[in-house]
Chains A and B, each alone.
Chain A
Amino acid sequence: MILLTLRDLRFRAVRFVVVTLLGAVVFSLLFVMTGLVEQFHREPFDTIGGFGASTWVIAEGITGPFTAASTMPAGSVESVDAATTAPVVTSRSSITVGNDAEQVILIGHDPGALGAPRTIEGRAAQGPGEVVVDEKIGAAVGDMVEVGGVTFTVVGHSSDTTMLAGVPLVFMVTQDAQDLAFRSRDVISGVLVDGDFGAVPAGTVAVDADDVAEDLLAPLEGAIASVDLVRVLLWIVAGVIIGAVVYLSALERQRDFAVLKAIGVSNRTLLASLAMQAVLVALASVALAAFLQMFLAPAFPLKVTVPTRAFWQLPLLAVVMALVAGAVGMRRVAKSDPALAFAGAGA
């Protein structure tokens, strides 16, 4: 069976190479789309995890500290019954590096407390006029940048500190953030808590860090659904490509199959041979795509995180898809009449 399959692949090598390449392009896009969706889901959890808090105390009536604007008195920090607490300020803002401006999310934290970023270069902000920026922003340590119209010095870089599909965070001390966001040092956005806690002040609620992260996914629902739809469409395209080539192969080899049936080869063996062809093309396409995506992913403006599971799930799904797509061709083989082997059958 494998002899027939491999020889036919070699005989129609040009076609199969073209189809494999086409399939590889489609599958590499699928890898990237899978990586995008993965990144959408992973990003808020990674970023919120970086704050070091297990619980966020926020104003009652809002869904989360990043998706709705609200404040609470700065003294609320002391009112939270917990061992480790810290104030936090969150606000949408913009940063200008040279002539380039972009949207950022501003985070105010106390030096060395919960909410201070882990830096990959330099150090965290210790006092007024200092910021740590996500490496994605492209400002070097020591550069002067403008945040909300105020000049700051970049003292460090953080990594994987983005949310809402790639909006970078800028970290500064609480007072600077309060000045920029509220023009008042009397209010904060919330209180970060790590570990067990007791009562929270009236008018506030305690929200689990994972729920804060989950809340950040809500604005992305439409984008995630769109990417998922593109993924479904890409699967259909891959299925059509492989199905078409298997069908064409079955059509061209109808007489071959009729001859083999006539001389006693079972339908099952012939179907397995054609199915194997479909599976080999699909697997070759996926293998090539796994390589191609390494070059394709960096070209995307959003971070792409292809999960390890995709490297076995995608081939597995591709095999299932190839068998389904090849079913039309296989049906044709199953129905082919061995009498076709005789020229002028029916004479």
Chain B
Amino acid sequence: MNILLLLVWIIVLFCVVMLHVAYATYFERKIIGHMQVRLGPMEVGWHGLLQPIADGVKSFFKEDIIPTNADRPIFLAAPIICLVAMMSALAVLPFAPGWVLADIDIGLLFVFAMSSLASYGVVLAGWASNSKYSFLGGLRSMAQVISYEISMGLSLVGVMLMAGSLNLTKIVEAQGDSIFGMYLMPQCVGFFVFFISMLAETNRVPFDLPEAETELVSGYSTEYSGMRYAIFFMAEYIGMMVMASIGTICFLGGWNGPFSVAWFPPLWFALKIYMFMFLFIWIRATLPRYRYDQLMDLGWKLLIPLALANIVVTACFKALAG
């Protein structure tokens, strides 16, 4: 019985997240359009509101092309690895008090593990496509994830130290429900490092080197078409949502807001996630892509030392205060 209930919850979560992913693409296209003094999608439905559904139907019915020289099993598995890894990270996110599928004590580590696994999908896709563009995209993704995973992990150590737990629910509870309890202020350096690493981790502009369309056609997804391409796309957007959730949980006080909304507890959580999504899109509309060596410079020479210093300072404060 319990398992059935859990299954229902999983399906509900899946549907809600998929809907949000679909409309995140619409949101992005509209915002970028208006930032470029265009209109964005306008034709399908009122102000293009049905565009994501039309896109989904189109990519679902498109021909699934597999290159002759591709490594077939890996080529087929790569998008699935990406999507599954990203989606399983959703299981540990607390959307509201008690609204979590798996309240495990290593929640934060689990999310890290899953988002790193997702980059395996990208690397394998680049390898299996047997195309130089995909391969370069895959290699870049690997290097990028390795360097930014470190700074991201280190940036959250401060939060772990302050909350004294890796359980995401406990981290939110440790911040209390007032705005001054948020870890954004005491961990502002950590947040800065986290935010930049988050952009790099989700392959977003200005760190979208794995799929740099101006130089690598479409990077790791060059050889993919139809549904498999859409799966990569979904994985990217779910990754954005997961990272935005982690940022919300660790720095912005999760579901807590100025007042509690009884009829829809995750309201503040959703609003904060959408604020993050807007930031992602806003930055995409503004910044050009970093050069590869600048990306590595930023990761290794700036973010990792900053994160390490942050850990030391936080640990000292913790030892002195407690």
- Are A and B part of the same complex? no
Residues of chain B having any CB pair with chain A under 8 Å: none
Chain A residues near B (Cβ < 8 Å): none
